[in-house]
Amino acid sequence: MIAEDMTKEELIELVKKLRSKRKYGIFWEDDKIREEFDTANSIPVLQELTELSINTSTNQTNHILIEGDNYPALSILKSTHFSKIDFIYIDPPYNTGNKDFKYNDAFVEKDDAYRHSKWLNFMNKRLEIAKDLLSENGIIFVSIGDDEQANLKLLMDGIFGESNHIETFIWESIFRPSNLGKSVRRNSEYVLCYVKNRSDDFSLAQKSQEAQGEASLTQNNNAPRTLTFPKNYVKVKLPDGTYKNGKYGDIEMLDDLVVKDGLAIKSFRISGKLKWKQEYLDSEVAKGVTLMIKTKSFIPYYRKDYQDTILRPTKLIPNDVVGDVLSANAEIKKIFGSSVFDYPKPTSLIKYLISICNLSENAVILDYFAGSGTTGDAVLQLNTEDSKKMQFILITNNENSICEEVTYKRIRSVISGYTDSNNKEIEGKGENLRYLRIRELAKTNNSDEMKIRLSEQVVPFIQLQENAYEKIGPKGKNFNIYRSNERIVAIHNSFDFEELVDLRDQLVKYKDLSIKLFLFSFDDEFVGTEMFSDFKYLQMEPIPSRILGILKDTYV
């Protein structure tokens, strides 16, 4: 609509709208290109497909795979994981105009006048929820190509704050389609990194040479090399402070290694298959650079006073460190026998990004453009390698059966083990997987009836929120009891008072433990809870009003 055709009232509203907008940032047309969610008639709920879930042990991490559109899935996570996600990695559509981005069930062509606006509208909604999901120290990485990199930077500056932009990394992805970059060969992509709240002492640091591709164990030739370290150059992780000479993995100690306060107190020599020539190693040591050799048993580290500079990651992420699209395809072919996904990311890239963040051993990692499942594969590998219990949450739609036939099968193979394309038996990583599917729950104008309907679907929400999947005790018609680590989680999703009494009788044996009890309530007031007065560590939460409120506020 042009100004000449607008009424006075419409012009006034337009002026008010323009005045209310930010004076700096990125703007796009969003009034006429909203996504077509059926928010008027339904809300999203979860259903667990128990036949697809994988259980290896009650002590293992419960990973999550959610099948469905990522916007309603994110709105559900906002009710279960608000400020709980530690790390997000996404690989969204690059919007090249080459049938890689669908909007309202149609590919966005390169000559579409609203091409960038549609993409920005699509990304904005999802990134705003992603910020809500991040913990206070949470961090997000977003892969992107040339077509939207500049727009994405401005968009994320507006959502996360320009001061929370850590870096725009350049990944040497090597392979790009031949019809792109005709004047300049495009051999790189971008990874934008933001934190939710940047502290004064924030920094990214590589924890080990493994994050740099295990370079010291990659040989250029087969000739063994001897490396002599000057006194006090090597900080070593040892059980007893001493190593005798002998063979340790790929490295042979030619001298005894004596350590005091974590430092070698005398020179020693090692021999092994190294990437660098002896002359280069000697020159680096002469410069005061401390090199690191990593094997399964022998792990020297950089000196403390070099960590801030040497261990800090560089803006360029070279392909010899994290691989490229070709190596990513090779990983998938090992499982499926052929390439089943266009332009996947290598697990080494995700492992690298995770490794440069100071994440806890129980960190929660989210990827809501999960695609082939690379992020899940990477987390399973890191848990095994570093003895961690990180949990992943993957979200992907099932268009062309990608969730069931690619994402799920890849994760199942990594967890349970498989025979690769070379007939080699690959041992499984173990751990558990819960397969959840997004469904639509019809709305009703009667708020009490809506609460009753949602309460009947509330169990998967609470299981996801509390990570509670170990069923204990008998199941009632309207109650369930689960164990989540050292906490008992009980759900009573009905106003049936007699069953509440039955639930109380079942919980008595756990009354000295921490119990979280979810009780159905129309108005957030509890009835009959005096029967739990002798429970020492009982926390009660009403359902489903909070879940319903968040879904109504978000899923619009």
**Secondary structure string (H, E, C) spanning 487-516:** EEEEEECCCCHHHHHHHHHHHHHHCCCEEE
Q: What is the mean pLDDT of residues 66-70?
A: 95
Question: Which residues contact residue 113 at a Cβ distance below 8 angstroms, ignoring those fewer than 6 apart?
Answer: none
Structure tokens at 521: 């309530």
Tens-digit pLDDT profile for residues 206-219: 653 332 222 232 22
pLDDT of residue 259: 57
Is 50 exceeded by the pLDDT of residue 309? no
Give the whole-number percent of the chain exceeding pLDDT 70.
74
Exposed e or buried b for every residue in 481-493, given b needs 16+ CB within 10 A?
bbbbeebbbbbbb
Q: Please say whether the beta carbons of 140 and 88 come within 8 A.
A: yes
- The C-alpha atoms of residue 219 and residue 334 are separated, in whole angstroms, by 24
Is 80 exceeded by the pLDDT of residue 385? yes
Stronger pLDDT, 527 or 223, i.e. the higher one: 527
Tens-digit pLDDT profile for residues 479-510: 899 998 889 999 998 888 888 889 999 999 99
Stronger pLDDT, 340 or 102, i.e. the higher one: 102
- The C-alpha atoms of residue 228 and residue 417 are separated, in whole angstroms, by 41
Catalogue all structural domains in the chain, each as residue range(s) with its CATH number.
Answer: 3-204+315-437 (3.40.50.150), 209-310 (no CATH), 446-554 (no CATH)
Dihedral angle, C-alpha 401, 403, 406, 408, nearest 10 °: -140
pLDDT of residue 66: 98
Is 90 exceeded by the pLDDT of residue 268? no
Q: Helix or strand or coil: residue 393?
A: strand
Report DSSP state, residue 54: B
Instruction: Order across the sheet with 391-396: list the strands.
Output: 42-48, 432-442, 62-67, 391-396, 364-367, 85-90, 134-144, 189-195, 165-171, 316-317
156-165, 265-274, 335-344, 371-380: the lowest-pLDDT one = 265-274
Q: What is the mean pLDDT of residues 248-273?
A: 60
Dihedral angle, C-alpha 249, 250, 251, 252, nearest 10 °: 80
Stronger pLDDT, 439 or 536, i.e. the higher one: 439
The CA-atom distances, in angstroms, between 193 and each of 170, 215, 530 are: 11, 25, 50
Which of the four pLDDT bands, split at 50, 70 and 90, describes residue 286?
low
Average pLDDT, the chain: 80
pLDDT of residue 204: 84
Give the whole-number percent of the chain exceeding pLDDT 90.
37
Is 60 exceeded by the pLDDT of residue 178? no
pLDDT of residue 298: 43
Which of the four pLDDT bands, split at 50, 70 and 90, describes residue 322?
confident
Strands 106-107 and 242-243: what pairing? unpaired
pLDDT of residue 398: 92
The CA-atom distances, in angstroms, between 379 and each of 23, 89, 132, 322, 367 are: 41, 12, 22, 15, 11
Amino acid identity for residue 76 in this structure: I
DSSP readout, 120-160? HHHHHHHHHHHHHHEEEEEEEEEEE-TTTHHHHHHHHHHHH
pLDDT of residue 54: 94
Q: Which residues of 302-431 form beta strands (DSSP E)?
A: 316-317, 364-367, 391-396, 418-419, 425-426
pLDDT of residue 161: 94
247-251, 304-308, 455-459: the lowest-pLDDT one = 304-308
Amino acid identity for residue 523 in this structure: D
Is 70 exceeded by the pLDDT of residue 101? yes
138-152, 366-380, 494-508: the lowest-pLDDT one = 494-508
Find where tokens 């599917």 sit.
Answer: 437
pLDDT of residue 462: 95
pLDDT of residue 3: 67
Q: Which long-range contacts (CB under 8 A, 24 or more apart) does 254-260 make?
A: 254/226
HSE-up of residue 194 (Cα within 13 Å, Cβ side): 24
Stronger pLDDT, 230 or 64, i.e. the higher one: 64
Q: Taking the CA atoms of the chain, what radius of gyration do you get in angstroms?
A: 27
Stronger pLDDT, 207 or 300, i.e. the higher one: 207
Which range is most confident: 293-297, 321-325, 423-427? 423-427
Amino acid identity for residue 250 in this structure: D
Neighbouring CB atoms inside 10 A of 82's CB total 15
Structure tokens at 450: 């809506």
φ, ψ dihedrals at 177, nearest 5°: -55, 145
Q: Please say whether the beta carbons of 30 and 22 come within 8 A.
A: no
Which of the four pLDDT bands, split at 50, 70 and 90, describes residue 234?
very low
Which of the four pLDDT bands, split at 50, 70 and 90, describes residue 240?
very low
pLDDT of residue 403: 96
Across-strand partners of 46? 438
Question: Which residues contact residue 412 at a Cβ distance below 8 angstroms, ignoring those fewer than 6 apart?
Answer: 54, 433
pLDDT of residue 133: 97
Dihedral angle, C-alpha 76, 77, 82, 84, nearest 10 °: 160
Is 70 exceeded by the pLDDT of residue 95? yes
Q: What is the mean pLDDT of residues 39-67?
A: 89
pLDDT of residue 307: 39
Q: What is the mean pLDDT of residues 521-544?
A: 84
Q: Please say whether the beta carbons of 120 and 154 come within 8 A.
A: no
pLDDT of residue 261: 52
